Amino acid sequence: MFNILYMRIAVLALQGAFIEHEKMLQRLGAETFEVRQLSDWYQTKDALVIPGGESTTQIKLLHELNLYNPVREAILSGLPVFGTCAGLILLAKSVVGEEEIERISTMDISVCRNAYGRQLGSFYCEDVVDGVGDNIPMTFIRAPYIKCVTSLDCKPLAIVDGNIVAARQGNQIVTAFHPELNDDTRIHEYFMSIVREWVNKK
């Protein structure tokens, strides 16, 4: 089914768990390429994945490599983007206690970093993700959560222990957990359906 419409997805590969995303997207029939420097960014693409890792390192590198402005502008122009964990932090307009860093800031969410504390930072559960399905595997690694969405344009998609752990705003989706680390492809399929819709509209 996913081979019917060819799609080419950029994966930000500055740091963190990008290879796992590439493998999963390729399994679903997408072509992927890694964005390591500005010249990579100008390749043809239908979407972007921002992986988990260390958000402060990733944002620093985005600025140093002059990727920050083009990436931000593309997302604001509607390029579908999927941010996991650190990627969620990069896309957040507000991060509690961290106003000074210039993040991509395209999503109306307020986020707590390392929100579960050092001990509880990493855990696994399965839960519902709206529009995706039940029993979705959720691997959290020193994860953030979304304290609140700050506009009606942004919809919470999943709630674990009373905290929002996935959300969508237009063509942007974020998860506090790492769907690329489990075998279940449903979140990536959901993202690819957003990409497909966007490509068909272009």
Min dist. Cβ of residue 17 to ligand GLN (A): 7
Q: In terms of DSSP bridges, do strands 133-140 and 123-129 run parallel, antiparallel, or are they unpaired?
A: antiparallel
To the query of whether residue 102 is one of the catalytic residues in this protein, the response is no
To the query of whether residue 34 is one of the catalytic residues in this protein, the response is no
* Closest to ligand GLN by CB, 59 or 136: 59
Query: DSSP label at 194?
Result: H
Catalytic residue among 20, 21, 154, 180: 180
Find, among 105, 33, 20, the residue nearest to 62 by Cα: 105
From CA 110, how far away is CA 92, in angstroms rounded? Answer: 6
Buried/exposed 8-21: b ≥16 CB within 10 Å, e otherwise: bbbbbbbbbbbebb
Residues 49-88 within binding reach of ligand GLN (CB under 6 A): 52-55, 85-86
* Closest to ligand GLN by CB, 46 or 180: 180
**Using H for helix, E for strand and C for coil, what is the string for 26-71?**
HHCCCEEEEECCHHHHCCCCCEEEECCCCHHHHHHHHHHCCCHHHH
* Closest to ligand GLN by CB, 115 or 192: 115
Among 36, 142, 155, 186, binds ligand GLN (CB under 6 A): 142
Min dist. Cβ of residue 130 to ligand GLN (A): 22
Min dist. Cβ of residue 85 to ligand GLN (A): 3
Catalytic residue among 22, 85, 112, 154: 85
To the query of whether residue 178 is one of the catalytic residues in this protein, the response is yes
Min dist. Cβ of residue 89 to ligand GLN (A): 5
Residues 95-124 within binding reach of ligand GLN (CB under 6 A): 113-114
Among 11, 47, 115, 141, binds ligand GLN (CB under 6 A): 141
Task: Give the other-Cβ count within 10 Å of 129's Cβ.
Answer: 23
Number of residues that bind ligand GLN (CB under 6 A): 11
Find, among 110, 86, 69, the residue nearest to 14 by Cα: 86
- Residue 132, both tokens: 């995706």
Active site residues: 85, 178, 180
